[in-house]
């Protein structure tokens, strides 16, 4: 039995010290090219992006009732009529999604500058502007002091 194991252990002695084979007609493939053979295969290109887009959640726009619309209008008129230095105001906006139905609610805070009635946009002192129609709520310290509501 030891003869068989001994013969097995010397099985490649004749080629073990030979140099590595180099083909004469074809250059050796680069490591990058060899690695590319084993990279994952995406049979449906763009499918992952489509799935993630479909899975992205959007909010549904809540429609304001007549009382909420009139309160919002009163708040905006108060802001327009303020003399001199305007207060810091927080606007809640609904931004429609560009690719699917719905959108998201965001807040913008800054010092109120003016409402451009021709363009129907609100402009803050830092240059930020947004459509009046996207405003869902307006909050400021002047409203909490009992002037309206």
pLDDT digits (tens, 9 = 90+) for 94-113: 998 888 888 899 999 999 89
Q: Residue 104: left if φ>0, alpha if ψ -120 to 50, beta else—which one?
A: beta
**pLDDT score at 49:** 81
More confident residue, 11 or 45: 11
Last residue of a domain, one of 55, 74, 94: 55
Paired tokens of 147: 């002037």
Average pLDDT of the residues of the chain = 84
- List strand residue ranges (DSSP E) for the chain, in order: 88-96, 103-116, 121-124, 129-131, 135-140
Look at residue 148 and tell me whether its pLDDT is greater than 50: no
Question: Do 33 and 96 reside in the same domain of the chain?
Answer: no
- List strand residue ranges (DSSP E) for 5-134, in order: 88-96, 103-116, 121-124, 129-131
**pLDDT score at 142:** 82
Look at residue 147 and tell me whether its pLDDT is greater than 50: no
Question: Do 77 and 141 reside in the same domain of the chain?
Answer: yes
Question: Do 21 and 47 reside in the same domain of the chain?
Answer: yes
Inside any domain, residue 126:
yes
Domain interval for residue 98: 66-147
Question: Do 76 and 127 reside in the same domain of the chain?
Answer: yes
Confidence class for position 3, pLDDT limits 50, 70, 90 = low
Question: Do 114 and 47 reside in the same domain of the chain?
Answer: no
User: If we measure between CA atoms, which residue out of 144, 148, 129, 146 comes closest to residue 87?
Assistant: 144
**pLDDT score at 4:** 62
Q: Per-residue pLDDT averaged across 118-135, rounded? A: 91
The pLDDT tens digits for 62-101 are 888 899 999 999 999 888 888 877 788 999 999 988 888 8
Question: Do 50 and 94 reside in the same domain of the chain?
Answer: no
**pLDDT score at 149:** 41
**pLDDT score at 107:** 92
* Residue % of the chain over a pLDDT of 70: 91
């Amino acid at each position: 039995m030891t003869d068989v194991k001994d013969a097995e252990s010397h099985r490649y002695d004749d080629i073990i010290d030979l140099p590595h084979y180099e083909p004469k007609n074809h250059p050796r493939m680069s490591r990058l090219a060899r690695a590319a053979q084993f990279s994952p295969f995406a049979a449906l290109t763009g499918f992952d992006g489509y799935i993630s887009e479909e899975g992205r959640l959007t909010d549904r726009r809540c429609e304001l009732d007549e009382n909420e619309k009139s309160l919002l209008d009163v708040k905006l008129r108060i802001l327009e009529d303020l003399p001199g230095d305007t207060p810091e105001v927080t606007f809640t906006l609904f931004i429609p999604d560009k690719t699917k139905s719905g959108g998201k609610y965001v807040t913008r805070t800054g010092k109120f500058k003016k409402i451009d009635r021709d363009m129907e946009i609100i402009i803050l002192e830092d240059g930020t502007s947004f459509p009046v129609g996207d405003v869902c709520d307006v909050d400021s310290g002047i409203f909490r002091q009992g002037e309206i509501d």
